[in-house]
Structure 1
């Protein structure tokens, strides 16, 4: 690698990583009344990134395998900030904020193939607490299993009903792996939501599947085509990879969290654990569930005290109703959480899943 290319990478990666970290901060702490303050705290790390990106244009095609992912990720990050700055300046609404933040998982997807090549990018896909863990680093330094990595099955952007999934690089078929099925929020897409979980799955060892709803959102009313689709997806993964039948978690955000109840309380549900996050709830969900299915069913409810879409009282009611019906319910109320995904909860959920008998 030429000195000029090395210099360009050294100039580009720090502001790119800082910008991704800032977008992650906005996505986690977004609360409509505090949007301006959240943007102020995020700073302007993309300014330095904008200045460094043009340097990629001078790279010869022999480095296209590095140049193209870095440019694509950088462009997504800049586009995200452009959208957020526009709303912060009074041009746009909350929908525009969510649209801008969709560039963040697209940047993470673009960079992921370089994680094995550029060590700073490998850290981007590890829990910060484990980035210096010798055992984790040694595990990831081993040759990548040919059936591992990120895969997409009929799940191109804009499509419905497909799924994306991640199998850890150190996968081996001689052990049974926990399975996490993560359901996106309303109008979301599994290909984007996968990146809410990949870092923790890679850090701790779990297979993660992120399906896309068949309709605009999950089948919360009317005919339920999503539950049989999820069952087919679980069967597909289990037929090709070694999945622990005692550790199959369905979790999700917002509408995805609500659908955890709908599909997870079904008598024939393939899931052993439920973790609805920022979900709506109606007591009829517990009342209509099969009593045998509910008895002892492990459920973790996660909700933000400042949730503006589904008030926290709904989660408290869910905990009471499901506990009274016989489920084994844990409840986590996060003081500084609005209606966003608390990625820090993933490690705790995996620890909980790992304690299954």
Structure 2
């Protein structure tokens, strides 16, 4: 094995150790790749896993943009995660990164952190290398199992994610509590998939005791993301970003 190969192997080992600890290593910086295009881009070819990056037509490399990592529910796909905020991306200038879980749902929900953290870290590194992202406006969010995973990963990586958007989450199992990300959480009172009493209402009490800033909203409805909750979440996120 050449010295170059040994260095690369060491980097991969460290990357996987971080992933198993629920730790993301990628952070925004100055993009190194020039001429990054707008529109919708599948990430599978370059990163070896499913995922989608959406860049609005108004993106300008001299104006760092907000970026949200959006996570689908159990049995969903990257496109389901993307659709959670896609209707608002163009008018608000959002970069959207939607990975796909490596299994039927996100790793820690089945067993422990690992493959999905590694994939999300790779996808973030790709986005940060190609696009100018505002470090104060990096969020993670999701729906259902994706919301549970967003809370878990977001609370453990509060130095990266200043905001967490959780639509109808079930629980949170952060590997640690790092930083103090602000949390938006919404849930339907008629949810039969993840009942509100044992899910978001319980989580709200936990977060309040821990001292987190939480914007909590209930709505009359089932296990869905109403458009008004989507819009309120994005307005809350962008209005509350501190540079």
TM interval, shorter chain, is: 0.7 to 0.9
Contact 1:196 1:343 in 2 (8 A): no
2:200 corresponds to: 315
* Residue 352 of structure 1: how far off its partner (Å): 1.6
Within-5 A mapping of 1:336-347: 337-347=221-231
Deviations 1:2-49 (A, max 9, x none): xxxxxxxxxxxxxxxxxxxxxxxxxxxxxxxxxxxxxxxxxxxxxxxx
Contact 1:164 1:209 in 2 (8 A): yes
Q: Provide runs of 4+ in structure 1 moved above 4 Å.
A: none
* Partner residue of 1:330 out of 215, 239, 242: 215
2:88 corresponds to: 200
Query: Secondary structure of 1:234's partner?
Result: helix
Residues 267/251 of structure 1: CA separation in 2 closer, same or farther (3 Å cut)? closer
Higher relative contact order (CA 8 A, sep 6+): 2
Within-5 A mapping of 1:209-248: 209-219=97-107, 220-224=109-113, 225-248=115-138
Cα distance in 1 between the residues matched to 2:157 and 2:147: 18
Cα distance in 2 between the residues matched to 1:326 and 1:260: 18
Across the two proteins, how many residue pairs are aligned to each other?
202
Query: Secondary structure of 1:265's partner?
Result: helix
1:167 correspondence with 2:47: no
Contact 1:250 1:271 in 2 (8 A): yes
Cα distance in 2 between the residues matched to 1:253 and 1:176: 26
Structure with the higher helix share, 1 or 2: 1
RMSD, aligned CA = 2.1
Contact 2:68 2:139 in 1 (8 A): yes
* Residue 171 of structure 1: how far off its partner (Å): 0.9
1:289 correspondence with 2:176: yes
Structure with the higher strand share, 1 or 2: 2
TM-score computed with the length of structure 1 as normaliser: 0.53
Deviations 1:306-331 (A, max 9, x none): 11011111201111101211211110
**Gap runs ≥5 in structure 1:** 1-144
Within-5 A mapping of 1:60-75: none
Cα distance in 1 between the residues matched to 2:156 and 2:81: 24
1:278 correspondence with 2:163: no
Deviations 1:73-107 (A, max 9, x none): xxxxxxxxxxxxxxxxxxxxxxxxxxxxxxxxxxx
